[in-house]
Structure 1
Amino acid sequence: MEWKPSRRRRWFDAPCHLCGLDTVDADGLCPDCRREWRAGLGRPRCRACGLILAGDPTAGAGDETCAACVGRQSPFERVIAAVDLDPAVRALIHRLKYRQDFSVVPLLQATLVEAVAQQVPAVGPDALVPMPLHPRQRRRRGFNQAWLLADGVARATGVPLLRHGVRRVRDTGSLTALSARARRGALRGAFVAEGAIPRHVAIIDDVLTTGASAQALAAALHRGGASAVSVWALARTP
């Protein structure tokens, strides 16, 4: 897979996204915050669930797997999470989703692109599938943050976006307060995949929590003809 540098807007006249100082780099971070932000990148993570590996990982088929995932059949070919969902990451994602602050997009895109570049093998997926929003939710928000992330990854990697054929047909509302089991029930049948689905696709999302949404979407993609589904998320809930 050929990796190309992403084109990013420079924010030298804007304050740092994290601390408010006015000396920032191309992604909108000051030098101190850049060092702290990068400290969360590149940590070994379970290939099946995306959690940071603690202690000595158990190797599975040449890949690192956490103890909880050993022996389990994962619905995903590989899970990539760029960073943990700590308060700083959560604040930036909320600024984008709920305040429509698009100035944070270059940083979020670049963070996911760097994680993908570090972890994806030479042969990557055939297409990227941004996590769909239901049309009502899309109208309420005005945009889909997963599409913004996927656009940056597509430009950096050359992997095409699957722009049509995958839809969210049930408006499940917010799932934040639900348990993993309740989320799986609420998401059953929430997605449909129509038309020709490539052999290997990567789901792009902003946050991976229980994985219920990604699992429901993966099931629809498999029904549509995909033989392998990966998940590339900006942040993983610890």
Structure 2
Amino acid sequence: MAAWLLPPRCLLCGLPGEAGLDLCTACLAALPRLPPACPRCALPAPAGEVCGRCLARPPVQAWAVAAFLYAPPLDRLLPRLKFHADLAAGRLLTQLALPAFMAAPRPQALLPLPLHRSRLRRRGFDQALELARPLARALGLPLLTGGLRRRRATAAQSGLEARERRRNVRGAFAVPAGVPLPDHLALFDDVMTTGATLDEAARVLRTAGVRRVDLWALARAPPPG
């Protein structure tokens, strides 16, 4: 009855949705699914092999997975959640991304990358948490919301070079005292760009005793050029 009274409409173009999604057939086909990618950093790589950079300098994380490339038209859909609190967009993105995470190695828990409290107050919600909550529920995973905190506000990463991004987030995270952490967890964020923020958070979690940290992101920014 609800579907008949309020049929789905495409959030990108306004045409009728398909298959119960708020997305039409054409826009669904246009979404930039991640091609075969390096399993350590999620950057596109031939046949999904470990890339040369990760072979030369193995990253902190054991695995990295993203559902999409951050490219049109996804770059119009995700900001609706992130900057305009469009929870319908977040719900749609979780539905679309779920198969990629179902195919990933299964962690013991999912930990969304936290915002600093000052940014959370300004924005009013945490986009990583809003995406991770239904994802954890669909996968039957515990959701850890207090396993990591940002102990200082950092400048926005957008517009910074890779080296500046790493410097910007150095020392930004801490594991609260007395918080039990599993041996294997997945750290989740909406977009993985250079990976500097997730790398720093993963390093802190490993130092705190987590044996394996995987990185999950809704989208992976394509490499420069």
TM-score using structure 1 length: 0.85
How many angstroms does 1:10 deviate by? 6.2
Please tell me the root mean square deviation across aligned C-alpha atoms, in Å: 1.9
1:117 aligns with 2:133: no
- The residue that corresponds to 1:108 in the other structure is 93
Deviations 1:53-99 (A, max 9, x none): 24x55xxxxxx212332232111110001010002111111111111
**For 1:45, what is the secondary structure of its paired residue?**
coil
- The residue that corresponds to 1:128 in the other structure is 110
How many angstroms does 1:179 deviate by? 1.1
- The residue that corresponds to 1:188 in the other structure is 170
Distance between the aligned counterparts of 1:77 and 1:111, measured in 2? 24
How many angstroms does 1:159 deviate by? 1.2
- The residue that corresponds to 1:165 in the other structure is 147
Contact 1:84 1:236 in 2 (8 A): yes
Task: Give the number of aligned pairs.
Answer: 218
- The residue that corresponds to 2:20 in the other structure is 26
Letter matched to residue 166 of structure 2: R
Contact 1:134 1:170 in 2 (8 A): yes
Distance between the aligned counterparts of 2:82 and 2:134, measured in 1? 17
Distance between the aligned counterparts of 1:112 and 1:15, measured in 2? 19
Distance between the aligned counterparts of 2:54 and 2:95, measured in 1? 29
Deviations 1:154-187 (A, max 9, x none): 1111110112231011110311111111111111
Aligned-residue sequence identity (percent) comes to 39
Contact 1:167 1:191 in 2 (8 A): yes
- The residue that corresponds to 2:37 in the other structure is 45
Contact 1:113 1:152 in 2 (8 A): no
Contact 2:78 2:90 in 1 (8 A): no
Contact 1:128 1:150 in 2 (8 A): yes
TM-score using structure 2 length: 0.90
List alignment gaps of at least 5 residues for structure 2.
none
How many angstroms does 1:14 deviate by? 4.6
List alignment gaps of at least 5 residues for structure 1.
1-8, 58-63
Contact 2:34 2:66 in 1 (8 A): no
Distance between the aligned counterparts of 1:48 and 1:222, measured in 2? 16
1:216 aligns with 2:188: no
Alignment of 1:78-97 (within 5 A): 78-97=63-82
Contact 1:10 1:27 in 2 (8 A): no
- The residue that corresponds to 1:147 in the other structure is 129
Distance 1:44 1:107, change over 3 A: same
1:228 aligns with 2:222: no
Distance 1:154 1:198, change over 3 A: same
Contact 1:10 1:28 in 2 (8 A): no
Distance between the aligned counterparts of 2:139 and 2:158, measured in 1? 32
Distance between the aligned counterparts of 1:41 and 1:10, measured in 2? 27
